[in-house]
Structure 1
């Protein structure tokens, strides 16, 4: 680790004892900080809180009392805790810095960062970059929103490794000096309005990925997205655009069915194992070429890459129906991309946490792609209304995903696709999208 003195003797409040809070608390104390850990759940009901308590930490559970701010000069918060939380509002008034563990990771990591964000496609792109860089001098370690806590990995990383990190807007909003060598911004759609308050605030959180880059760094960005392009072009980084629709001499594009990098032929579209992820593939190729990966290695990986679990994952077939798990589709943009992948009639399973947004952008898909909607969760009434507005009368409301699967099976025919692509976060009924997807898989196998 570098900068091992940066948090020494500082009084730090770690807010939220999930994976990231637990790892941050451990790391900060090892760096000499005076750490208090806080969570809204009672300590006795939280195994990780009990572990920290037994390890000698001061742990306060059952809420976020304002008295915790006394003597605190830094807050490291769980990314999911919104800034309108009363304790955080009071901290802002007292000018106490509020960061996420990603900022801590950036301070102490000896390894350079490749950071990936966007409204859709982050996990697939991050996973693919990890595969493309595997076995090369980059020595990639994949972490972040994809499952492994960034600061935990950063504490162990060495100079000859590269941290390939998927980062959410929640994580990026809590950064101040975080400095990736290569940043990737895939797209910006309206999302997480319940957290950020507006698309503008959400977009600026995403754009934080460029904030501290210099001309010696690289910004890989989607030139087909005007807002992404605006943010990228305002950065100081060396720009590397990618486009699925236009010819770009300075970056990655498609020319006569061939993906090219700065005019160099890399791979034919026809050879890709996952043709539905072209934009993600273009971004990953840009990072791979910047990292010195050979075209032979790129070809080998892209002809064998079959995606990630919970992202358009083929689960199996039952009596002529094909089941796909796209539980990671937590917004309508992701669901539209999933539906675009199929020519067969689709029985769509969708619904979840109500974040205040509408689903009008799904209307053309309800008209052209979906033969029956099975909906559940807080947004079920909204999705039913949207489907009815689209002229889709085949709508069934069920209690949850487990009941949605046999219902979809009974209402489908041979040759149909049964797709879980919720267009919503999972937190109204499930702890994570992974849990939701696993329940879908289990229910399918029960058939």
Structure 2
């Protein structure tokens, strides 16, 4: 049941603005909460803070003073990127002040049915697929969350006739208490964001919070090929719906005799699917299961799988220049994502990789570099990637300043029939504020080749 009235007169501290904190603050003010905002960015350069001040909100910029906790606070809404080790957040938890992310506000704002999707890799593709599959349905699909649109802002504009399709990160899910999707999807668990969570166990538990409030009336769609995922969902109360690319399942989604099937219903022949890469089948199975449970028309699912060729920045085809194909996979911010991207191609490959150094090496890439004829690297991890390339026997290795300069160098190394793939295996934050901007710079550089 919608609980907007419960926000009235709540004393809420919003820590960290950017998109999510700004949206949360505006929603809270709209429904009568007494909001204080705290952001590290200096006020002079902080347009969001200035806008909130103009709305009468108390704003503190430039630091995270512990004195903010001297006032009574019902709960804190924390930007997902701020770690729990932040002194202000740590002190709040010591005082037993609840710390949420903006996702928790969704439970106050809407009665719309929710499909929540998480996992280490494939979230954006799966979320996009579900949104497309749910079109032409009595319930209008609205896609939001970690995919780029702030979830609480969108949820505030929905009603019971909508269905909210939400991509959710581990950062977001750590800060939920009552949030509950009717359908939850856990794609996979791999090493990711361990600098934030500390351990893989803590990371997995954060992902599993997606299901913690579900009841027997809800659905838990999970990867039956991933033992860690199986263990995480074992004790959930909701109806379990497995998917598998390796097993033939009596119930759930799987591959059977060359077809994608759901509960023994043949949906589409695998060779009719246009999305490249074997790894994409995992996302397709999960999306099909979620869409079918939510009431999607099978013909709509088939149409989507025959036409959908990928999301922006995820194995996105950019252009062909003199027979050389360019693909933008800037969203590959970890090694596993790059492994899967490389595996999608059988042609000679020129790989563009590098970015933020999180302390890991790249030896796990070596078995996947068989068809890689050249590596063009940039960013903090360039020395590590060069070492990996030499161990893999790659003959052409170049170090450049950034993605923009990598593109013409890669083109010079190429011949007709080659693929140039931006798949960095690293986050972008050493050089770019987001993987989206990194991918946009790649696309712009490719177009300049003409």
Asked whether the two chains share a fold, i.e. TM above 0.5, the reply is yes
| 1:23 corresponds to | 23
Mean CA deviation greater in 215-224 or 5-14: 5-14
User: 2:107 & 2:390 partners in 1: Cα distance?
Assistant: 48
Q: Is the 8 A contact 1:311 1:327 kept in 2?
A: yes
CA contact under 8 A between 2:116 and 2:165: conserved in structure 1?
yes
Separation of aligned partners in 2, 1:54 and 1:29: 12
1:371 maps to 373
Contact 1:221 1:228 in 2 (8 A): yes
Q: Distance in 1 between matches of 2:368 and 2:27?
A: 47
Mark the runs of 5 or more structure 2 residues left unpaired by the alignment.
none
Checking the alignment, whether the CA contact within 8 Å between 1:130 and 1:142 is kept in structure 2 is: yes
The answer for the alignment partner of 2:52 in structure 1 is 52
Does residue 1:61 correspond to 2:61, yes or no? yes
C-alpha distance in structure 2 between counterparts of 1:174 and 1:435, whole Å: 27
Size of the aligned set, in residue pairs, is: 446
Segment drifting more, 126-135 vs 106-115: 106-115
2:354/2:377 contact within 8 Å kept: yes
Aligned to 1:237: 238
Counterpart of 1:4 in structure 2 is 4
| d(CA) in 2 for partners of 1:230, 1:335 | 26
Structure 1 position 393, deviation (Å): 4.4
Contact conserved, 1:138 with 1:291, CA < 8 A, in 2?
Answer: no
Partner of 1:155: 156
Q: Which residue pairs with 2:357 in the alignment? A: 354
Q: Deviations over 1:198-235 (max 9, x none)?
A: 11111111111111111100011111111111112221
Instruction: Give 1:217's aligned residue.
Output: 218
* 1:26-425 paired onto structure 2 within 5 Å: 26-71=26-71, 72-276=73-277, 277-366=280-369, 368-425=370-427
Give the conservation status (yes or no) of the 8 Å contact 1:143–1:149: yes
Aligned residue for 2:307, secondary structure, equals coil
Residue segments in structure 1 that go unaligned for 5+ positions in a row: none
Which runs of 4 or more aligned residues in structure 1 lie more than 4 Å from their structure 2 counterparts after TM superposition? none
CA RMSD of aligned residues (A): 1.2
Tell whether the 8 Å contact from 2:137 to 2:297 is kept in structure 1 after alignment: no
Q: SS of the counterpart of 1:5?
A: helix
Say whether the 8 Å CA contact 1:314–1:324 is kept in structure 2.
yes
Moved more, 115-124 or 387-396: 387-396
Distance in 1 of aligned mates of 2:12 and 2:283: 38
For residues 93 and 291 of structure 1, the distance between their equivalents in structure 2, rounded to whole angstroms, comes to 41
In structure 2, distance between residues paired with 1:202 and 1:355 = 16
CA displacement 1:98-150 (0-9 Å, x = unmatched): 10000011232111210000111100100010000011012110000111110
Query: 2:127–2:143: 8 Å Cα contact kept in structure 1?
Result: yes
Contact 1:80/1:170, CA 8 A, preserved across alignment: yes
Given that 2:77 and 2:100 are in contact with CA atoms closer than 8 Å, whether structure 1 keeps it comes out as yes
How far apart, CA to CA, are the structure 2 residues paired with 1:195 and 1:174? 13
For the residue of structure 1 that corresponds to 2:254, the secondary structure is strand
Alignment partners' CA distance in 1, 2:173 and 2:121: 16
Deviation at 1:275, TM superposition (A): 4.3
Give the deviation of 1:387 after TM superposition: 1.9
